[in-house]
Structures are given as structure tokens and as C-alpha cells.
Amino acid sequence: MSLLAAETSRQRIDRPAAIARSLLPLAGIVIGALLIHGAGASLGQYPSRVMLDCGVAIIAAVSLTIVNGFTGQFSIGHAAFIAIGGYTAGFCTYYFALSRGIDPGGVNASLLGGPQWVMAAACILAGIVAAGIGWIVGLPSLRLRGDYLAIVTLGFGEIVRVLIQQTAPQIDSAAEFRQTGWIAALLPPAVGGSLGLRDTPKTTNLFWLFIAVGICLLFAFRLKYSSLGRALISIREDEIAAEAMGVNVTKLKVRAFVFAAFFAGVAGALCAHIPGVPMNPADAGFQRSFDIVMMVVLGGLGSISGATVAAILITLITAFTLALAEYDLLQYRMPVFAILLILMMIFRPRGIFGLNEIWDWLPGFRRKRNLLENQRGFDVEEKA
């Protein structure tokens, strides 16, 4: 038996406190999601739409942080997993509604209605499909380093985009779908080709989205502050040293990639059910991937709260330029991002928060960092 195992068996822990630390954040997530849902309802349609976009961006950015920030592998094809998740979930819910003889486009958002649960199941399925594809893509490509991995992931994104463009047209009527059935709809996938996947049930609302955001944040934080997360970060810090210290580098890189793909899939699934935006092949493209990479880099590679803040910031800037469409400001969106990134390179070259989290800047926090306070740190993030 190793010395560590012996020491572990000697440890005594405060069980009620440990249970509380384990479960309280979940209650926090539900309450937080309810509050945000309420806030969205009182603010009106456009602000709540922007909040939905923020939520999707947060999940995308935080999940990419696990790959680009923790393990330091530079993946720039993250949007492909979002599209895969979105199309998977959209396909399931659209044809599920058709098979029940319901008009899919007419299904609206409610808090805890049946369609929401169908969407939740589709989200999990979408995450699993995206994770599976992430595993298949990651296994060979994560043996590459640096630029080469970036090229492979970029190529993967483009492949997914082109494949989606080549899919069959959607089946429109319930009667027709009854005739053809699921298998015919799946081979080739009838998800609309370059027209995009239209008329999916509009079941995403702020409550469900922010439940997913909360779970994603909790996942990322608990991963970061654990031995597993430290092992991921050690790969970023020095791959050779990590391997020499007994870290199975290849296995952990693939794992990180799979986690990230899972949450990207969930983000895509939620995105596919937001009112007013059909999924389309461009969602898998380079532009979307680059937006997410920008959020991660702007926030600080490895900082979860940084990615969150940057995701909100970039979504707000986009929304702002869109809202002022009558002044024709949309064309200035890209220069604004460029200036933002240049300013960041000059003043904060490691991102807004660098490698740290928000609370690492609070006085007295960095000094006594242990598990308990990491947990408290999470609550700070929840309130923020």
C-alpha cells in the first residue's frame, strides 16, 4: 500500500459539512436559474434574448477552457461540436414532435412542461453524441502538438460544416414523416442542408439554460480544484515533466477534449431550441469557433470566471451593435473586438484574469487556498 493510501485511510472528515459542500451548490444553481428566469421575464423580450445568448456563450467558452485553458491544447474547432449537438438535439425534438402529430414550430417555452423534459433528454443525448465524436477525433489528433492540433481541429470544423450542408431537406408534414419513419429521416439526415434546421420546438428558456450553465460551471470548478484538474493543468505547464511524474498525458488530453465536446454539444442543443434562430451549417464554421477562442483568450487561459466574463462581454458587444442596426453599427463589431484584443495584449497579456479566478484578487484569498475556500469561492461566483 502506498504512503498516500495509508495517509488517506487515516483521515477523518466532518461528514455533514462534506455533504453540505457537495450538495449546496446544486441548490444554488436551481435558485440562481429561477432568479435569472424571473429577471429575464421582467426585463422584456430583447434583454432576455440577449441573456439566452450569454448563457450559450458561457457554456461554450467554459467548456473550451477545459481544453485550451487547462490542458493547453489549442483547439479551434469548438463550434463543430456545438453544431453537432444542436443538430442532434434539433433532429430528435423536431421529429419527436412530428411523430406525435404536433407542429414542432408551435411548441413554446414553459417552466416545467413536458416539452422541456423532452428537450432536456435531447440535450443529454446531444452531449453524449458530441462527446463520442470528440473522442473519435481526439484520440488520433491529440498526439499532435501546438499548431498541428490547431490545423486538425480547424479542418474538422470545416468538414462538419460541409457535411451539414450536404444533408437532405427537412420533412415538413407529420403525414409524410409517418410514411417515411425514423430510419429514412436519419439516412441521410433530413436536417435541411444549407437552409438550416427550421421550426424546432422553441423550448429553451432562461431557467433551463442557466441550469445548464450552472452545471457546466460547477463541473469546471470542481475539475479545476481536484487532483484530476491539477493533472490536466500540469500538461499545460510542462508535458514532459507531467509524464515523468506519472501523469498519463495522452489519456487525460483525450478526456479533457471529450468533456469539452460534451458541454459544447449541450450548448448547441440549447441553442437549437432558442426562439428565432434556426441552426445552420455556418454554426460549425470558423467564425463561430474563433468567437469562442477569443472569449477564452480574452478571459485568461485557464480562468473559468475569466471565460465567463469574456463570454458575457463579447455577447453584449455583439448585441449592442445589433441593437443599433439602424445606425449601421454592425460592421464595426469586428474592429471593436480587434481593438479589445490589442488593448488586452498591451495591458493584460495573459487575459483579463490571467490564470486566476475573480476571487484570487480579493485580499487574503490567495494565501490560504484550500478545498474549503475553493468551495466558498464557487459561491462567490454564483452570486456574481
Partner 1 sequence: MTAPLLAPLLNVEAIGISFGGLKAVQSFTLKIPRGGLHGLIGPNGAGKTTVFNLLTGVYVPQTGSIELDGTKLIGKKTYQIAAAGLSRTFQNIRLFPDLSVIDNVRLGMHLRGRHTLRDTLLRTFTFARQEQAIEDRAMELLRLFDLEARSEEYARNLPYGDQRRLEIIRALATEPKLILLDEPAAGMNPAEKNDLAKSIEQIREKFGLTVLLIEHDMGLVMDICERITVLDYGQTIAEGTPDEIQSNPKVIEAYLGEEVK
Applying the rule CB under 8 A, the residues between 9 and 38 that interact with partner 1 are 9-11, 13, 15, 18, 21-22
To the nearest 5 percent, what fractions of the chain are helix, strand and coil?
75, 0, 25
Contact between residue 78 and residue 268 where contact means Cβ atoms under 8 Å apart: no
Distance in Å, CB of 168 to partner 1, minimum: 37
Applying the rule CB under 8 A, the residues between 324 and 363 that interact with partner 1 are 355
Q: Of 154 and 247, which CB lies nearer to partner 1 in the complex structure? A: 247
**Count, residues in the chain:** 384
Cell (9 digits) for 16: 455533514
Q: Of 78 and 255, which CB lies nearer to partner 1 in the complex structure? A: 255
Query: Around Cβ 331, how many Cβ atoms within 10 Å?
Result: 8
In the chain, the amino acid numbered 341 is L
Residue with cell 478526456: 255
Contact between residue 271 and residue 126 where contact means Cβ atoms under 8 Å apart: no
The size of the interface with partner 1 (CB under 8 A), counted in residues, is: 45
- Could you say whether residue 379 binds partner 1 (CB under 8 A)? no
The correct pick among 230, 275, 329, 380 for binding partner 1 (CB under 8 A) is 230
Distance in Å, CB of 313 to partner 1, minimum: 24
Selected range binding partner 1 among 92-100, 178-186, 287-295, 368-376, rule: CB under 8 A: 368-376
Q: Is the dihedral of CA 23, 25, 29, 30 positive or negative?
A: positive
Contact between residue 252 and residue 231 where contact means Cβ atoms under 8 Å apart: yes
Contact between residue 350 and residue 301 where contact means Cβ atoms under 8 Å apart: yes
Alpha-carbon distance 267 to 62, whole Å? 11
Distance in Å, CB of 74 to partner 1, minimum: 17
Selected range binding partner 1 among 99-107, 190-198, 220-228, 303-311, rule: CB under 8 A: 220-228
The correct pick among 234, 303, 308, 315 for binding partner 1 (CB under 8 A) is 234
Dihedral Cα 31, 315, 258, 275, nearest 10 deg? 70
Distance in Å, CB of 368 to partner 1, minimum: 8
Selected range binding partner 1 among 133-141, 222-230, 309-317, 324-332, rule: CB under 8 A: 222-230
- Could you say whether residue 128 binds partner 1 (CB under 8 A)? no
Distance in Å, CB of 249 to partner 1, minimum: 7
Q: Of 222 and 333, which CB lies nearer to partner 1 in the complex structure? A: 222
- Could you say whether residue 364 binds partner 1 (CB under 8 A)? no
The correct pick among 112, 183, 240, 346 for binding partner 1 (CB under 8 A) is 240
- Could you say whether residue 124 binds partner 1 (CB under 8 A)? no
Residue with cell 437552409: 195
What pairs with residue 279 in β-bridges? 197
What pairs with residue 79 in β-bridges? none
Distance in Å, CB of 216 to partner 1, minimum: 12
DSSP 81-115: HHHHHHHHHHHHHHHHHHHTT--GGG----SS-HH
- Could you say whether residue 112 binds partner 1 (CB under 8 A)? no
The correct pick among 7, 147, 326, 328 for binding partner 1 (CB under 8 A) is 7
CB proximity list for 1: less than 8 A, separation 6 or greater: none
What is the DSSP code (8-state) at residue 169?
Answer: P
- Could you say whether residue 229 binds partner 1 (CB under 8 A)? yes
Interface residue list for partner 1 (CB under 8 A): 2-5, 7-11, 13, 15, 18, 21-22, 218-219, 222-223, 226-231, 233-234, 237-238, 240-249, 355, 366-371
